Structure 1
Amino acid sequence: MLKQLRTVAAVAMLTVTTYAVAVEMNGTHPDTYVVRKGDTLWDISARFLKKPWLWPEIWQANPQVKNPHLIYPGDVLSLAYLDRVTAQAGPRQEAPITGVPLSDVEPFLRNLNVVDSFEDLPYVVGLEDNRLRASSGQKAYVVGLDAAQPGQRYMVVRPTVRFAQPKPTEDLDSRGKVTPGSGNLWSSYVASSDRKEVLGYELAKVNVGTLTHVASGDVQASTLQLEDSGSEVRRGDRLMPVQINPYDLQFIPHAPATATAPGQLRVLAVTDTFTSGGPRDVIAISGGAREGINNGTVFSVWRNGSHVSDRMHSPGSSRADDALKAGAGRISLPDEYAAHAMVFRTFDKVSYALIMEGTKPARLGYELKHPDAQ
């Protein structure tokens, strides 16, 4: 769980503007709702609207309210009239709720980074007592920290995956090299373009440590005292400085600020599963800050339309019924909606998003479109 959340004393009074007339209201919404611990802004908005990502556009703050996006467990939301939504302040004893369940995305906020390269990062060259693995209370010996100072804290990270096009993911070995053949799993993946591009390398946090001695004289390695009893450190693991709050804790759902070309954004990976995921699963997508994506951006996820053989005109054809691309003798079918996903962690060319709801699994290679796409 993310334990340190900054509380704010502002009382959220939310007013629906005249734009609300054009918004599709959810006919099953209650007249009042008491915000509970564990709620998300998405869940509460879904009680009022058919499109939960539209709520920032219609819930406007009264002039005296600094931040209408902060509502708390115990607040009472009233929707007695279509032209007014109000929030009666609760006890303010809990942290404000956020756009997504933090427990579902915590590992991706705290333990994963995506970088353009990692070869120049400091790395573990040896371990205390020549161990093969080391953990809390033991020492790791590192090269590449000559300019550091004792007392500085570092994350020990391990390269796990390379995100790229046209093969979306390729596993990395202990040296950070691509595992031969791993990209062959995605032979049926439809790349967003014909160009070849590395989108980034995923680095997973293994441990945390404090630098106790810096290389000097005849000693060529610095000493890192390991503190975490979780994963074990091994030779070849890399180091990154510990960052203080490098991520957001408030995720405000909104439509993409920048339009993207058809087929530009696709699902690169589905975490903790093989090729598909459903609500509350995390996906990696082939776009980030470079494409104008930021935290809270909502996309709809679509299965690309199949290209099937026309059996009426070619009943004796032996070709496969479903192809990745259009061609002579094939009929192209429409794309099919699968789910909605909201971005919660953005890097330069890759982002992580949480599947919020859907009608079918979101799979590797599915396309991301505007949340209102039809």
Structure 2
Amino acid sequence: MTMKRASVSMGTFTVVGMLILLPIGAFAQQAPAESAARPSEGIVHTVVAGDTLWDLSSKYLGSPWKWTEIWERNRFLTNPHYIYPGIQVVIVPPGAREFALEQEPAAAAGPAETPAAAAPSVEAVQPPVPRVTPPRVPYLDIKPEEFVRAGEFLKDAPTGIGAIMGGKEPKVGFVEGDTVYLSLRKEIPAGQLLGVYRVRGPIDSPGKRPVSGYVKYLIGVIQAVPNVDGQAAANVRHSFEDLTRADLISEEIPAYAPVRIDPGADGIPCSVITGRLWNEELAQGDFIYLDQGASAGVAVGNVFRVFVPTGVESGSEAHSAPGKVLFEAARAVVVRVSPDFSTVYVASSSESFAAGVSARRGIPSK
């Protein structure tokens, strides 16, 4: 297969003394800034009908996919996707306050003493304090709306709580603003948010290990509304792709979490099972799934090098394998891990690659 050449080449950045050959602009950023201003009095929101943490996150934190930041401050909420009108939700906690303690005057005891004459003050010359620049903390540079669509690879076919039966309009695919009718296996209160997922599979890995399973990833968010003629219904709040009758409805909605880059020790050879989509060729910006996970020592933030047996880019690194020489085509960062599999974001690539190629954790020292 002829490999495409990606337009983005590899650059460099430093991680605590390590040299990592990846473009700074496309791969890493500084530690994430606070999502919202932190006024001294804090921000408390009184919930009204129709509010969700997803909406409040969009309003106050700039992205609906940061809703877990609010939930962490309000863990009395048992269902983060359904909140009641009238309750108060802490968006930003109040800042620290300083209190001045009054000192009681000392009790008089005996005649007052005559204070000694003060010695002439000699102002000490203080040397200037050098400004210390905090060390750079690398985080994966990825938008929240991309991060939440990373998906996962599962051994067994995923199940949800139902599916879309149709819509108010006679359409095949549904998008933001549409009203859809649902077939649900449990009762959902009006106002609750639900995730809509696309599932494809079974998929057999073309790699060395015999792996078979399913890909599941988010394609939209819907919000339940009162039943229409006795039929469960919902409004489509957000759609990345057209929602169809074949898609799965779940109470799970993913959230964004900053990924701190930690390359990990060299090792853990594995194979690319597949990409999130049906792409024959994978490259920078794609999500891929590896056939090794937490049980093998993989952790979020680890960097994997992806190798191809043909095609050499200028400056690419060779890796020996029995009977052939492999060349580095891409570098990717783990964003999600399960015991058996890893979801990895391709942060940079010098050429495209196909499912089944090998990968290895770690960045060799120069």
So what's the TM-score if we normalise by structure 1? Answer: 0.52
Q: 1:199 aligns with which of 191, 195, 213?
A: 213
1:214 is displaced (CA, Å) by 5.4
Change (3 A) 1:290 1:106: farther
- Quote how far apart the aligned CAs of 1:296 are: 0.5
After superposition, give the CA deviation of every residue in 1:141-181 in whole Å (9 maximum; x if it has no partner).
1112433222211122222x3364xx33xxxxxxxxxxxxx
Alpha-carbon shift at residue 244 of structure 1 (Å)? 6.0
In structure 2, what is the equivalent of residue 236 of structure 1?
246
1:254 aligns with 2:263: yes
State the Cα distance separating 1:266 from its structure 2 match: 0.6
- Cα displacement (A) at 1:255: 0.9
Counterpart of 2:139 in structure 1 is: 99
Report matched runs for 1:50-199 at 5 Å: 50-51=19-20, 70=31, 87-88=133-134, 98-103=138-143, 106-110=145-149, 112-115=151-154, 116-159=156-199, 161-162=200-201, 164=203, 167-168=204-205, 189=206, 191-193=207-209, 195=210, 197-199=211-213
| Residue from 224, 232, 235 that aligns with 1:211 | 224
How far apart, CA to CA, are the structure 1 residues paired with 2:167 and 2:193?
18
Structure 1 position 366, deviation (Å): 1.6
Q: What's the offset of the Cα at 1:269? A: 2.8
Q: Secondary structure at the match of 2:14?
A: helix
Secondary structure of 1:228 counterpart: strand
Structure showing greater relative contact order (alpha-carbon pairs closer than 8 Å, 6 or more residues apart): 2
* CA-CA distance at 1:202 after TM superposition: 2.2
Give the Cα–Cα distance (whole angstroms) in 1 for the partners of residues 246 and 164 of structure 2. Answer: 5
Partner of 2:305: 300
Amino acid in the other structure paired with 2:201? R
Distance 1:304 1:156, change over 3 A: same
CA contact (8 A) 1:114 1:350 kept: yes
Residues 144, 268 of structure 1: alpha-carbon distance in 2 compared, 3 angstrom cutoff: same
Alpha carbons 1:300, 1:371 under 8 Å: kept:
yes
Say yes or no: does 1:367 pair with 2:358: yes
Cα distance in 2, alignment partners of residues 279 and 230 from structure 1: 19
Deviations 1:113-162 (A, max 9, x none): 54542345411112114443333333211112433222211122222x33
Give, in whole Å, the separation in 1 of the partners of 2:187 and 2:324: 59
Query: How far apart, in 2, do the equivalents of 1:156 and 1:71 lie?
Result: 28
Q: Give the structure with higher Rg (CA).
A: 2
Matched, 1:350 2:360: no
Structure 1: runs of 5 or more not aligned: 1-41, 54-68, 74-84, 90-95, 169-188, 306-324, 327-331
Q: What does residue 128 of structure 2 align with?
A: none
Q: Secondary structure at the match of 2:146?
A: helix
Distance in 1 of aligned mates of 2:271 and 2:235: 41
For each residue in 1:313-368, what CA deviation from the matched residue of structure 2 results, as whole angstroms up to 9, or x when unmatched? xxxxxxxxxxxx99xxxxx2344443332212334543232334566544322212
TM superposition shift of 1:71: 7.6
Q: Distance in 2 between matches of 1:129 and 1:137?
A: 11
TM-score, length-scaled by structure 2: 0.53
The 1-side partners of 2:145 and 2:265 are apart by 23
Contact 1:303 1:338 in 2 (8 A): yes
Question: For each residue in 1:273-296, what CA deviation from the matched residue of structure 2 results, as whole angstroms up to 9, or x when unmatched?
Answer: 844444554433223334332211
Aligned partners of 1:346 and 1:211: how far apart in 2?
30
Please tell me whether the aligned partners of residues 191 and 224 of structure 2 are also in contact (alpha carbons under 8 angstroms). Answer: yes
Aligned residues: CA RMSD? 4.2
Distance in 2 (CA, whole Å) between partners of 1:148 and 1:222 is: 8
How many equivalent residue pairs?
242
Q: Aligned partners of 1:209 and 1:71: how far apart in 2?
A: 29
Counterpart residue type for residue 262 of structure 2: P
Q: Indicate how the Cα distance of structure 1 residues 273 and 45 shifts in structure 2: closer, same or farther if over 3 A, else same.
A: farther
One-letter identity of the residue aligned with 1:240: S
User: Aligned residue for 1:58?
Assistant: none
* Structure 1 stretch displaced more, 116-125 or 353-362: 353-362
Deviation (angstroms), 1:256: 5.2
Q: Distance in 1 between matches of 2:343 and 2:175?
A: 29
- Letter paired with 1:202: K
Q: Please name the residue that 1:227 is paired with.
A: 237
Q: Does 1:287 align with 2:292?
A: yes
Asked if 2 retains the 8 angstrom alpha-carbon contact of 1:133 and 1:233, the reply is yes
Percent identity over paired residues: 15
